[in-house]
Amino acid sequence: MDIHTLTLAEAGKQLKQKKITSRQLTQAVLQRLKSVEPQIQAFLSIAEKTAFTQADEADRRIAEGGDISPLTGIPIAIKDNICTADAATTCASRILENFHPPYDATVIAKLRRAGVVFIGKTNMDEFAMGSSTENSGYKITRNPWDRERIPGGSSGGSAAAVAADAAIAALGSDTGGSVRAPASYCGVVGLKPTYGRVSRYGLVAYGSSLDQIGPLTKDVKDSAIMLNALAGHDPQDSTSANVPVPDYTSACGKDIKGLRIGIPKEYFAEGIDPEVEQLVKNAIRQMESLGALPIEISLPHTEYAIPCYYICAMAEASSNLARYGGAHYGYRAKNAGNILEMYSKTRAEGFGTEVKRRIMLGTYVLSAGYYDAWYLKAIKARTLIKRDFELAWEKTDIIAAPVVPAPAFKIGEKSADPLTMYLSDIYTISLNLAGMCGISIPCGFSKKGLPVGLQLIANIFKEETLFTAAYAYEQSAGFFNRKPPL
Amino acid sequence: MSLKRISPDDVRHVALLSRLRLAEEEIPPYTDVLNSILEYFAKLNELDTSSVSPTSHSIEMRNVFREDIPQPSLPVDKAIANAPEVEDNYFRVPKIIQEM
């Protein structure tokens, strides 16, 4: 058997039973990575040497016995906007081309302590601004199921790597769907935890009130194992929640009899691809056959989610990205005569077009005379969107919806008009505005053989409900056994 | 919310505030695309938000305090390790204060 295809749970078990070593597993995964990388282009850097050092250290820990984490010796890929001490962290931007963070993000420190093997950093839309990974300053990642198509974004490299078995699991970040959407397009499981569930310390900030780190995995149980390791309060992130962390894996395997599943009618309105609609509805029927109770609900402000989200995200981005000016780290333009010229030339040469657009629009909606009309209006709309969910939780335990309106589109198809790209985020962004948790799990394939995801959404800090429902569905549907043609 | 289109001069002004140097030939395409995005964003005008309070953070949180315990800070060599230009232990940048 090819051990690079193992799930995290299976690989962890075999490591613990000493059937395989972390060195063998790391070797197999890196070999797979190298053989598929020319086709999918998922990685910005590969850490072969340090990976083997970490693998040997994990093998030593396992040989000694004692307290072994389910993640000890597991090869994992990291999105390139999560700081890894002394290893390049570029955010797929030219402005951070040679940036080596002086510290680890909290999630990296946690995984390091658990004995994870870090195999490399994955491609993404520059500063996580995009829905296709086409906005990378370095390369375009391809969908393992059809290499003419996008893997989704912005965590496209992480999703493609896991789908292609070039990593056992990966970390991404989700500001408006950037974990869930690529998971759906690539046929893997992607989790956006509740805002504050996972520390953002060391995650390069895009929209600070929306950003959340989440795992991309081969199945639901692996996602629960990863969240166990990632979740928890962090004094370094004052927005991280001081809420107890349960064992999420024990939520997998509980039955869903009587679980109320809300179906938001606005998520099945015009704009949804008929195949996606059919597959998501089939999945809901499947859950009904397991004893769940579907009910129609309404999230009436859904049509305002895109403008609301983009105004909030751009405003926060314009402030967060002000730090890149060429003074302290990153790229600096040559031959600047004065400080203003240094800032404005550095930023003009270092940022890509989409990042510049968002910085300018964010600056505009926050600027004197326009703040009330745009930014204040948007954060009031955010209250209405959040209230929609709060009312829904009075009637339902979980919400089932599509993740994206259609299967993966072709590379270049939506590049000309940024608005058409923004519209593909319609089903994922409301959660970030409201802070809710959500998961994308495979629920079938289009006629062209492209994966389609089902999105399950739960109230804040109700990840256990998500895992219970997602695991029950996954076990009865079994789509995680299908592999892309690579 | 103003539906007045933003002008090329507005784009020049916002680019300056954003510290982004745009070439003159970049101004018209940015003006067009920013206008088309803002036109779409103006959909929020359909909402009556006169009695709605704003949400800047999804999870309600009060001020977060901690004990003020001194801790070592980032060592200077690490802090300047990524700097494009350093002199002694300082970040070196072009002159900021102009002579009168």
Q: Closest Cα to residue A185, out of A213, A217, A156?
A: A156
DSSP A67: S
Looking at the complex, report in whole angstroms how far the Cα of residue A346 sits from the nearest Cα belonging to chain B: 8
Per-residue pLDDT of chain A (486 residues; tens, 9 = 90+): 699 999 999 999 999 999 999 999 999 999 999 999 999 999 999 999 999 999 999 999 999 987 799 999 999 999 999 999 989 999 999 999 999 999 999 999 999 999 999 999 999 999 999 999 999 999 999 999 999 999 999 999 999 999 999 999 999 999 999 999 999 999 999 999 999 999 999 999 999 999 999 999 999 999 999 999 999 999 999 999 999 999 999 999 999 999 999 999 999 998 999 999 999 999 999 999 999 999 999 999 999 999 999 999 999 999 999 999 999 999 999 989 899 999 999 999 999 999 999 999 999 999 999 999 999 999 999 999 999 999 999 999 999 999 999 999 999 999 989 999 999 999 999 999 999 999 999 999 999 999 999 999 999 999 999 999 999 999 999 876 789 998
Give A3-259+396-481's CATH code, choosing from 3.40.710.10, 3.90.1300.10, 3.20.20.70, 1.10.10.10: 3.90.1300.10
Please tell me the number of Cα atoms within 13 Å of A472 on its side-chain side: 24
Chain B residue with minimal CA distance to A356?
B20
Matching residue, tokens 């309070």: B53
The gap from C-alpha A200 to its chain's centroid, in whole angstroms, comes to 13
Residues from chain B contacting residue A99 (CB–CB below 8 Å): 82
Quote the ipTM score: 0.94
Q: Closest Cα to residue A442, out of A189, A179, A250, A257?
A: A189
What the block records as the tokens of A221 is 């149980």
Across the A:B interface, residue pairs with CB atoms under 8 Å apart total 172
Q: How far apart are CA A221 and CA A248, in angstroms?
A: 9
Does the distance separating the beta carbons of B84 and A330 come in below 8 Å? Answer: yes
Instruction: Tell me whether the omega of the peptide bond preceding residue A440 falls within 30 degrees of 0, making it cis.
Output: no
> Best mutation site among B10, B26, B41, B64 for testing chain A: the one with the most A CBs within 10 Å?
B41
DSSP A66: S
Q: How far apart are CA B48 and CA A360, in angstroms?
A: 27
Q: Which of B49, B58, B74 sits opposite A381 (nearest CB)?
A: B49
The pTM assigned to this predicted structure is 0.97
Residues from chain A contacting residue B66 (CB–CB below 8 Å): 235
H or E segment to which residue B57 belongs = none
Return the amino acid letter for A468.
T
H or E segment to which residue A440 belongs = strand A437-445
Largest pairwise CA distance in chain A: 70
Does the distance separating the beta carbons of B36 and A377 come in below 8 Å? Answer: no
Looking at the complex, report in whole angstroms how far the Cα of residue B96 sits from the nearest Cα belonging to chain A: 6
8 Å CB contact between A120 and A165: no
- Whether the CB of B44 is below 8 Å from some CB of chain A: the reply is yes
Q: Closest Cα to residue A212, out of A230, A189, A188?
A: A230
